[in-house]
Amino acid sequence: MIKYILTTILIIYLVRLVAPFLFRWLLALFVKKSLRNGTFFYNGTNPPQQPPRSNGSTHAGRAKGNVNIDYIPEQPERRDFNGGEYVDYEEVK
């Protein structure tokens, strides 16, 4: 009977020592696999949506890596800032 109790206590003690390392290792493997597959942030039920393009252009016919600028807005004339107007204020205590 004593041998059975000591064996049980020893097994529980060893499991308590080994379990944190085992769980940490398994969790790291799961996260690495999920990140590699792209399922860590996306579980497959609702596919991620890309925002619609504002100018209606598509990537068809463009070489990868080229930048095309379709519209450059006109810049208004910049006047020098002379400061703002002085406003009196009262301190409220």
pLDDT for the residue 16? 92
Report, as an integer, the average pLDDT of 9-30: 92
Q: CB–CB of 55/70 below 8 Å? A: yes
What pTM did the predictor assign?
Answer: 0.36
Q: What are phi and psi of 26, to 5 degrees?
A: -65, -40
pLDDT for the residue 10? 94
Q: CB–CB of 34/40 below 8 Å? A: yes
- 6 pLDDT band, cuts 50/70/90, is very high
Res. 72: pLDDT tops 90: no
What is the Cα 44 distance to its own chain's centre?
17
Q: CB–CB of 62/68 below 8 Å? A: yes
CA distance 48 to 41: 10
pLDDT for the residue 73? 77
